[in-house]
Amino acid sequence: LGLWVSSIVDDLNFQVAAVYACLREGPRLVLRKGAAHAPLADEAAIDPETLEHVLSNKSGRYPRDPKLDALARVVALDSFFWMSLPGRDQPLLLLAGYGAGFGRFYTLHDYDLGHFLLFGSHLAALLENQELIAELDRERSELSTSNAQLDASLSKLRDAQAKLLQSTKVLAEVSRRAGMADVATGVLHNVGNVLNSINVSAELSLERLRALRVGGVERVAELLNRAPEELGEFFRSDHRGRVLPTYLKELAGHLSGEVSGIAAELRSLQENVDHIKSIITKQQAYARTVGVSEPCSVTELIEDAIGLVRDSFGELGIRVVRDYAEVPPFLMDRHKVVQILVNLLTNAKHALAESDQEPKQITISVRHRPGGSLSLVVCDNGVGVAPEHLPKLFTYGFTTRKNGHGFGLHASALAAMELGGSLTCTSPGRGGGASFVLELPVRLPFAARG
Ligand SMILES: Nc1ncnc2c1ncn2[C@@H]1O[C@H](COP(=O)(O)OP(=O)(O)O)[C@@H](O)[C@H]1O
Ligand SMILES: [Mg+2]
């Protein structure tokens, strides 16, 4: 403000010897020279009467106004113009004039008053705008502060997003492994069952081998172990020699019967070993991590999934009903679809194990509207899903089972999404069974496209 005042004063066509601002501070009227925020040049209290006079007359001229003698003494001017500006907080008094030592500009001309008033109104406008400018500055700095805050929260958001992405990846991997665990459990169960049959076969074969009358052959060999010329006599007159052919015939019958029995047992054992091999080969095919779409027979794929869990169905007396619409082979990620189905079938088994419903039944349906998606529906008449649980079913970690993990459905829903499809559940409520619908987009293999 001080600078501004000086530059305006310099611009004025007449010379102004001094500019004073007169501020009221509390009960006192205080003079400041040059500018309000400049260090005090002079400070003087003005008597209330003078103050009253100055403030009630907007502008004027001294020495024509004798009521301002006191003021003239304080500011040491012999003649001056004065002007009071309505400040926002306090009135501002402008003084411009000449003192005794100022030489040739001693006289105040009437046209100088016009300039002075113009200068005053400029100053008033400036003061008013100053507040606006300060306000603008304040707003600008507030704006830039909140801008910076916004920047900070944006980058925090970005960080959080990155972390979320990372943990989603970890979660997806954990879920994938959990899904694999369901498949692996199925495989182990199957292998375990087949190993049981192998054990039984091996045990039986061993027993039959032990019971083979090999000793009889040895005894016959001993009986016949004599000089050739004695053999005729032995067969003719020895009682043992006479029954020996019949005994040998019977022994041969027994041995060949037993050998073929043991061979059959060993064949079944071999078949069981092959079965284990095929189970493991299948598991290895499903354990592939990369998603590859290949032409798949939908029913074959479902049967593969059933094959992985079926053995435990028998123990619970679960009946599997197949309701397959006829559909052409589609391009599908076999691994993912089987994994989802194994999860659904395992869950259905658990739901049936916990239920008293008889007969226990799982229905698997295949539906396809030409041009539309493929629906695989796994429906059971087990314990069902409480309405308040329905929205949480696919959440990571949600389980109602004592030994549950709550990974299976989450992983399955993720896998369904990765396939471009969806997994949904409907249930009439507790005790009403549950239906899980795996909806998949289908693509025909290249050769089948029209
Ligand atoms: N067929 C079903 N019938 C009734 N409830 C089911 C069925 N399938 C899943 N659920 C419910 O969803 C929950 C989560 O299933 P899932 O994600 O596979 O985890 P988990 O099997 O480890 O509990 C189960 O604990 C159960 O409450
Ligand atoms: Mg489960």
Take residue 206 and report the two structure tokens written for it.
């061993």
Contacts of residue 384, Cβ cutoff 8 Å, sequence gap at least 6? 351, 427, 428, 429, 430, 431, 432, 433, 434
Residues 320 and 352: beta-carbon distance below 8 Å? no
Q: What is the dihedral of CA 148, 154, 157, 163, to 10 degrees?
A: -100
Q: Compute the C-alpha angle 342/419/287, nearest 5°.
A: 45
For residue 409, the ligand 1 atom closest to its alpha carbon is 17
SS3 406: coil
Distance 399 CA to ligand 1 centre (A): 6
Q: What is the dihedral of CA 183, 185, 190, 195, to 10 degrees?
A: 140
Is domain 293-448 in CATH 3.30.565.10, yes or no?
yes
The pLDDT assigned to 33 comes to: 59
Residue at token pair 């779409």? 293
Query: What are the per-10-residue average pLDDT scores of the chain (450 residues)?
Result: 50 48 62 49 63 80 83 76 70 70 61 75 72 79 84 83 76 67 71 81 86 85 86 88 89 90 88 82 63 82 89 88 92 87 94 94 92 93 96 91 87 89 95 96 68
The pLDDT assigned to 25 comes to: 65
Probe target for ligand 1 pocket from 409, 424, 427, with the most ligand atoms within 8 Å of CB = 409
The pLDDT assigned to 434 comes to: 98
How far lies 38's CA from each of 2, 32, 134, in Å? 7, 8, 18
Residue at token pair 């040491």? 76
Contacts of residue 333, Cβ cutoff 8 Å, sequence gap at least 6? 291, 292, 293, 419
Task: Report whether residue 347 contacts ligand 1, using a CB cutoff of 6 Å.
Answer: yes
The pLDDT assigned to 380 comes to: 98
Q: State how far Cα 359 lies from the chain centre.
A: 41
Q: Report d(CA 74, CA 77) in Å as an integer.
A: 8
Contacts of residue 316, Cβ cutoff 8 Å, sequence gap at least 6? 349, 352, 353, 360
Q: Report d(CA 163, CA 396) in Å as an integer.
A: 17
Closest Cα to atom 12 of ligand 1 = 393
Q: Report d(CA 449, CA 266) in Å as an integer.
A: 48
For residue 405, the ligand 1 atom closest to its alpha carbon is 22
Distance 175 CA to ligand 1 centre (A): 14
Could you list which residues have their CB under 5 Å from ion ligand 2?
A: 347, 408
Q: Report d(CA 175, CA 406) in Å as an integer.
A: 9
Closest Cα to atom 25 of ligand 1 = 399
Take residue 297 and report the two structure tokens written for it.
């027979």
The pLDDT assigned to 318 comes to: 94
